[in-house]
Each structure stands twice: as structure tokens, then as C-alpha cells.
Amino acid sequence: MDIFIQQILNGLSIASVITLIAIGVTLIFGLTGIINFAHGEFLMIGGIVTWLAVSAGLGFPIAVMLSILAVGLMGYVLERGLFRFTLERPTNGFIVSLGLIVVLQHVVVLFWNPNQKSIPRPLTTVWEIAGVRIASVRVMVILITIAVVALSFRMITASRYGRALRASVEDRDTAALMGIPVRRYITGVFVLGSALAGLGGALLIALFPITPFTGGTMVMKGFAVALIGGLGNIYGAVAAGLILGIVEGFSAGYGFSQWTDAYSFVLMILVLIVRPHGLFGGTSGPRMAS
Amino acid sequence: MNAGSALKPLRSLLPVLVILALIALVPLFSPSNRFLSLAISAGINVIALYGLSVLFGQTGILSMGHAALVGVSAYAAAILARDFGVGFWVALPVAAVASAIFAMIVGVPSLRVGGHHFVIMTFAFGQLLAIVLTNGGDYTGAATGLDIAGPVTLFGADVTELTRYYLMVVAFVTVAAVASWAIIHSSYGRTLRAIRENEKLAASLGINVGRHKIGAFVVSGVFAGVSGVLLAYFLGHISPSQFSSFPSIYLALMVMIGGARLIEGPLAGGILVAFLPEVLNLDPVQSRIVYGICLIAVIMLLPDGLIGGIVRALRGLFAGKAKQEAERDAAPSEARR
Amino acid sequence: MSPILAISGLSKQFGGVTALAGVDLAIEEGEILGVVGPNGSGKTTLFNVVTGVHKPSGGTVLFRGRDITGLAPHAISRAGIGYTFQQAMAFAGLGVLENVQIAGEHARAGGTANPWPTPQALLDFVGLSALGGEKAGVLPFGSLRLLGLALALATRPSLLLLDEPAAGLNDRETTALVGLVRQLPGHGITVCVIDHDMKLMQMLCRRLAVLDFGSKIADGPTEAVLADPKVLDVYLGGDL
């Protein structure tokens, strides 16, 4: 039982990072129809920035801020420089993201070698409650994610901008007709999604060592979560992240850890076969130019 | 158009055949073993790329699991050799069929969930295959993979030797190119292009879109299957990471850099990606950065791929003068939309 | 004579919205029937349900006595019902001739004598033979509509459904289209036109059916329908 709770906690902390990716992925897809596979590399870059900052002697909180800023800026530059030209042909946006994966991974390898990188845990306390060992760093990751997700929710549900954003995700053309500056929202969503990936990367390296190739598996899980929840549906992404975290925790706790990576894919494939629009319903993306 | 229409398809095959004939003459200049090995790897990729070009170039379906299809047949060949003592020539059709069947197993649910998700589904199946192979214990050799030994003989002669294997791969590339050309210029190819252009309209004309999409995926699986057997026997050792999703990304990258719709595209993409680092004297890390930038540049600037771009530039160069004159004559009749 | 297409009790709900509320409609062999109605009256839903794009919530569609309710779009086409869309008219990236070739290659086998045995003959019929070598995507809009008609005809239909075939055409192009469509019954092709353009309908159809809020409110000879107060009411201040 103790190990069970511990594994659930472990699962949830990883699921937090995945949820942060999934929100970015789901918003960008919902608004632009672009499947940005390079989002995992955004996360990896966030981890690298954090590692560089901590290695340079900066504190973890400052490193997190730097990571959010750097990756958010990167998202801005890439959207302005590349992705905005592919809005009419989302497939091209996807292909561009494939090129970015290759470039970003190997630029990092070129400058900082392909080896694992880690930082000392920002919180080292381990609480022991009724025989259950709880690492405070994991709790921190979960709490930060909850806070950020709650903040994003509030932004999206309560503010004028949030309503306009949701309208744009629902139907880009109509939103544009209603005077919503959709293009600017697309840039904004790219920046927001990238910043969340930057945060995710910082939190990930607080938990595990990362390599320049960490992004691949993580983005796949992010997409799995986004698809299970329903693409374009933020609530769905959070719920699916929770489900995946618990499933992965279970599997690790009961001795199938070598299959952990497979669960998200199997779950996603099964969900999509039964409910192509995800468990909680999503958009099928903006209408494509046929 | 009317008089030359029967000859035109044949003419489009000619450049590829000439290039392949020249490539087959390379051993006369006693190339280094390193060159031959690189060329063989490139050729094996090109065979898989022809399958991808049918799928992506003609049908408009992007797969991120093509390397997995190559892997299925490579493992099938290795397991057939280990457990049943089956050699290259028997393994070739059997493993190609295995890849085709795997393509169908992946294709049916993936295509059911529709266009946007398809690419993610194929990616997931690719990753899953790598996980299954890694966790397959002794049967799949786990993370280390499998060895495949045994000579490849053709008409009693051992073709395992590098130059002979090279020539055999060139022959297979030629078969793949001709097969792909035959598909492009058949009514089947037209059907696939109709689906690529507009699924709704295609269905309204009696085309069973779902079945043909799965069919195209299976056809691409056969190409990948042949490529996988050649790869397994060439390398002598295969492992899961060769067939996960990242190799698939590189295959997609090669076919798109070359140009997926033209018969020269896969050949150009495969050769370019294999030899670019040699020519520019880049290490593997630098060359991958260059590939990535090339892919982005090609997609943004030359949507028909490098070869398509070159062809268009040449046409523009030669037709430029004639076109100017024609435009001057026909200037007033431009009334579009 | 039994109708070529017999629609009975056809209904379609989207969520809670009723788009079709039990429509009965019979298309007789050899006629050109017009289905009219204001926007949102259920015309396009009727078209989509008959052609298999949407599955009906209830009712049946019989084509020459055969139940084709809820068949897939390609199966409807192969059964012998050709149809054209308002939007997707041709494969833009492919050649004009290739477009027609493709359309002819999946037609049902057998059937009656083909009035246009080759793609070229079809292009001649719609007046596009000079453009066979062009890419469909570069055709002017009017020619694109005609190409769309040629594609539907290439499937050798015995019933042809046209969804707003003259939308976006100028008067000259509309007249040309009307001239073509009126020849079709002579080639053994029954036609059903769905549109709200009354001028076009008066040129083409001797019989009209009128939809409003998903129900049929009138059906009969064109003059009689146009004089029907119910119809006038629907179209008050509209396209009449």
C-alpha cells in the first residue's frame, strides 16, 4: 500500500510535466491545426536552460524564470519566423516542426554534448508520513503545475481574452469575422504554450536527468494526453494527464515498469478507436483548405 | 499533348533509368569500401522511400511509422533465418508480406480516426514497436537486437561481397523505381491522387476512399519490407532503436527533401542525405542540423522538393523567352475568377 | 411508373436541432425536378443525407426500388446516383483530362449505352475540350463548374443531383449550364436540382418541391407552386 501511494505520487509528478506540454499542444492545434511535434524539444530546451542557469550558480527559482522566458521567446521567434507562413497548410507546419526537432536536438548536442544533464534537487526534504516516503520535490512539481493550470483556467474562462481565445479555437473563421484578432491570438498561444513547455522542462530536470533526446518521448505522451482528452480541449488534457499519471504510477508500482512508456500510446490508440474525438470531446482543428 | 500522350509516361522514367545505369557502373572505378557501404545504405533507404512516395506523394498520407515497417521485415528475416533456417530469397517475399500485414494492422485503426490524428497514430505505433522489440526477451534479442548470418547467393554465386551486394541493391532500387513509376501512371495512381486532392469529391465519384488509403499504406509496407530484408542482410545485426519513430522522421525528411511526387525524388533524397556529409565534410551532428534546415527550407520555399524546384527552375530558364513572347500575344485574354 | 428515387419520412437531427422533419419526395424517371427553399430550410441536409454524407435519423431512400438509405458516399455513386457539390468541384492539382479520366474509372459496370464513351467526348459535351491539358486549379470559375458537371456525368449516373449548380456563375454561363442540363433527360439521365435561385429553377424545371423548416410545404407543377400562397409567404421579400 505504501509503495502504491508513492508510485501514484511519482506518476502524478511526471504527469504534471506531460500536462504542461499537452496544454500547449492542444491550444496550438486547436487554433492553427498545426501538429507541433517540436514541442517536446521546447521542453528539452527549457531543461537545458535551467541546467545552464543552475550550473552558473543561479538559484532554481531564477533558473525556472529564465527557462520560461527563453522558451517563450523561442516560441515567439519561431511562430513569427516560420509557423505563421504555414497557417494555410497545417501539414507544412507539421513538417517544419519535424525539421525543428532535428535541428534543436543536434544544436544542443553540438554545444553541450549528448550526455545526460542533471541539477541537484532544488528541494531535498523527504517527509515520512505513516511509512510513506514523500519527496518534497515531487510535491513541489505537482503544486506548481496545479497553480499554473488553475491560473491558465482562470485566464481562459474569466477574462475577455480567454473567451475570445476559446471562440477562436472553436471556429477561427467566425471569430475573425467577429473582429477577434485571431493572428495575434495565434502568436499569443504559441508563446504561452512555449512558456509552459519551458516551465515543464525546468520541472522535469528537477525530477530526472535529461538528454538532448528527452523531448521525443515526452511530446508523444503530451500528444497522447491531448488526444485522449480531445484535441483543443484544455479540461480534457488535464483530466487525461491525471489518468495517465495514475496508470503509469500503477504500472511502475506493480512491476511492469519496462512497459511504462507503452501505456500512454496504447491508451491513446484505444481511446481514438472508440472515440475519435477523445474522451471529453475536442475540435477536429480549424477547417483545412482542401 | 494528344499525340505524345502515350510516350510521355515512358519519357518520365528515362532519366531515372539513365541515372541508375550510371550508378551501376560505379564499381568500374574501384570505389572505396566506405563509399560502397554508404551507397548500399542509401540504396536500401531509397527502396523504402519509393514506398513512402506512393503514400505521401501520391495519396497525401504522411506516415511517421515507415521505419517500423522496415523493422518488421528486418526482424522477420532475422527470426526466419534463426528459427527456420530460411535464407534471403525466401525471406524476401515472406518478410515483405509481414510488413504489408503490419501496415494493415496499423492502417485500419489509424485511418479510421481520420486525417489529423493519423500521423500521430503512426508515430505511436512506431514507438510501440520499438518498446515491444526491446521487451521481447530472447525472442527479439531485447535492446541488443538480433544477428543475422548467412550468405546471400544469386544463381549459385555469393553476393555478400560488397561490390556484388551493391549491384544487387541497385537492381532492387531499379525495380522499386519502375514499380513506383508504374503505379503513378496507372489508373490506381490516378485514384490515389484523387484522394490526395479531395477526399470528398473522390468519394462522390465512386472511389472507396478508406479502402484505397489502407491499400496505399499496405503498398508502402511492401516497399519497406523489401528494404528491411536487404538492410538486415547487409548490416548482419539489427536492433530496436533503428526502427523507432526517429528513423521514421529521417525517412520522411529524405523523401520530402527530394520531392515526394516525382519519380526522381526518392532517389535524390536518399543519395543526398547519405552523401551530403561526405561532400561537405560534416560530422554526423552537423549534418543532421543541415538536414533539418534543408527540410524547413524546402517546405517553405520549394513545396515540390529539391528536384521539383530544379525542374521548375530549368523549365523557367528555357521557357522564359518563348513564354514572354506568348504572353505578349495572348495578353488580353486573362480573366480569371 | 414507379419513381426513380423514392424518399419517405426522411428525417435528420443534429443534436437537438431538426434539420429534416420527415420529408416525402418522389423523383420521376426522366424529369428535371427542382427542390427549393430559403437558407436553412433543409435543402443541403436533404442532399447530404441522400448522398451518404450524413446518416439519416429516420426514413428510407429507395433508388429504383433498392434501399440505399445510409450507404457510404462512394456506394451511392456506384449505385448510379451522380452528384455535384457547391464547393468541391474538381481536383485542383490534377489536369482537366485526368480529372475526367478518374471520374470515369470507378463507374458501375454495365448499364445503358454511354452517350460520352471517352473523357474527350465528355469535355466536348461541356465545352472544355480545348482546356484538357490545363490544370483544373487554373480554370476560371465558370469552367470549373462545368468540369464538376463533367465529373459527375463521367460516373454514368441515371440520376444526377445538382447542389446549387449555378452559384457564382454570370448570366451567360448560367444559360450555357441550363442548356446542358436540359439535354440530360434525352440521354436517359434524370435530374434533381437543389437551389434557391428561382430564376434558374423556372428555366430548368417543370416541377418544383418547396422545403421550409425541414418539411415539404409544396410539390407540383412550377407555375402552380409559384402561385401557392404558402410558398409566397416563405419567399416574401425574398428571391421571388
In the 3-class helix/strand/coil scheme, how is A247-268 assigned residue by residue?
HHHHHHHCCCHHHHHHHHHHHH
Is the confidence at residue B331, as pLDDT, over 50?
A: no
Nearest to B335 among C53, C98, C140 (CB): C140
Is residue A285 a part of any domain in this protein? no
Range ranked top by mean pLDDT from B41-55, C204-218, C221-235: B41-55
Is the confidence at residue B6, as pLDDT, over 70?
A: no
Average pLDDT value for chain A: 85
Is the confidence at residue B58, as pLDDT, over 80?
A: yes
CB-based contact (8 Å) between B313 and chain A? no
CA of B106: which chain A residue's CA is closest?
A269
A39-49: pLDDT as tens digits? 999 999 999 99
Confidence of residue B325 (pLDDT cuts 50, 70, 90): very low
Looking at residue B147, its pLDDT comes to 85
C164-214: pLDDT as tens digits? 998 888 888 899 999 999 999 999 899 999 988 888 888 899 999 998 888
Range ranked top by mean pLDDT from A25-34, A179-188, A247-256, C152-161: C152-161
Is the confidence at residue B316, as pLDDT, over 80?
A: no
CA A268, CA C202: separation in Å to the nearest integer? 55
Is the confidence at residue B158, as pLDDT, over 90?
A: no
Looking at residue B223, its pLDDT comes to 97
Using a CB-CB distance cutoff of 8 angstroms, which residues of chain B are in contact with residue A84? none
CB contact (8 A) between residue A265 and residue B120: no
C61-79: pLDDT as tens digits? 999 989 999 899 999 999 9
Q: Where are the domains of chain B?
A: 8-303
Is residue A91 a part of any domain in this protein? yes
Comparing A285-289, B31-35, B235-239, C55-59, the range with the smallest average pLDDT is: A285-289
List the beta strands (DSSP E) in C37-189: 58-63, 66-67, 81-84, 159-163
Nearest to C74 among B1, B198, B207 (CB): B207
Q: Percent of chain B scored above 90 by pLDDT?
A: 43
Residue of B193, B198, B204 to mutate, testing the C interface (most C Cβ within 10 Å of its Cβ): B204
Q: Where are the domains of chain C?
A: 1-71+196-240
CA of B207: which chain C residue's CA is closest?
C74
Is residue A19 a part of any domain in this protein? yes
C120-147: pLDDT as tens digits? 999 999 999 888 888 998 999 889 999 9
Looking at residue A228, its pLDDT comes to 87
State which residues form the domain around A227: 2-274
Q: So what CATH class is C1-71+196-240?
A: alpha beta
Q: Residue B334's closest CA among C170, C140, C95?
A: C140
Looking at residue C180, its pLDDT comes to 93
Domain count, chain A: 1
Looking at residue A184, its pLDDT comes to 85
CA of C84: which chain B residue's CA is closest?
B204
> Which grid coordinates belong to A166?
476559446
Global pTM exceeds 0.80: yes
B235-292: pLDDT as tens digits? 999 999 889 888 898 898 899 888 888 888 899 999 998 988 888 888 888 988 998 9
CA of C133: which chain B residue's CA is closest?
B1
Is residue A16 a part of any domain in this protein? yes
Alpha helix stretches (DSSP H) within chain A: 2-32, 39-55, 60-81, 90-112, 136-158, 160-170, 172-177, 182-207, 214-229, 234-253, 260-274
CB contact (8 A) between residue B114 and residue A284: yes
Q: Check: CB of residue C89 under 8 Å from CB of residue C144.
A: yes
B96-121: pLDDT as tens digits? 999 999 999 988 888 777 666 788 88
CB-based contact (8 Å) between A44 and chain B? no
Is the confidence at residue B336, as pLDDT, over 50?
A: no
Residue of C91, C100, C172 to mutate, testing the B interface (most B Cβ within 10 Å of its Cβ): C91
Looking at residue B114, its pLDDT comes to 66
Is residue A257 a part of any domain in this protein? yes
CA of A267: which chain B residue's CA is closest?
B124
Interface of B with A in 71-90 (CB under 8 A): none
| Mean pLDDT, residues A55-60 taken together | 93
CA C212, CA C238: separation in Å to the nearest integer? 13
Looking at residue B330, its pLDDT comes to 42
Q: Report, in angstroms and rounded to the nearest whole number, the Rg of chain B calculated over CA atoms.
A: 21
More confident residue, A249 or B229: B229
> Which grid coordinates belong to B253?
525528411
Strands C207-212 and C32-36: parallel
Q: Which DSSP state fits A87?
A: S
Looking at residue A63, its pLDDT comes to 95
H/E element holding B174? Answer: helix B162-184
Confidence of residue C113 (pLDDT cuts 50, 70, 90): low
Q: Check: CB of residue A103 under 8 Å from CB of residue A223.
A: no
Q: How many CB atoms lie within 10 A of CB C101?
A: 19
Q: Chain A: nearest CA to B127, how far in angstroms? A: 8
| Mean pLDDT, residues A81-98 taken together | 87
CA of B301: which chain A residue's CA is closest?
A85
Using a CB-CB distance cutoff of 8 angstroms, which residues of chain B are in contact with residue C85? 200-201, 204
Looking at residue C236, its pLDDT comes to 59
CB-based contact (8 Å) between A265 and chain B? yes
CB contact (8 A) between residue C91 and residue B207: no
CATH code of the domain containing A268: 1.10.3470
> Which grid coordinates belong to A137?
520535490
CB-based contact (8 Å) between C105 and chain B? yes
Is residue A286 a part of any domain in this protein? no
Interface contacts B/C by beta carbons within 8 Å: 82
Looking at residue B249, its pLDDT comes to 87
Chain A contact partners (≥3 CB pairs within 8 A): B
CB-based contact (8 Å) between C239 and chain B? no
CA B107, CA C14: separation in Å to the nearest integer? 30
CATH code: domain B8-303 is: 1.10.3470
Residue C82 bridge partners (DSSP)? C160
> Which grid coordinates belong to C3?
419513381
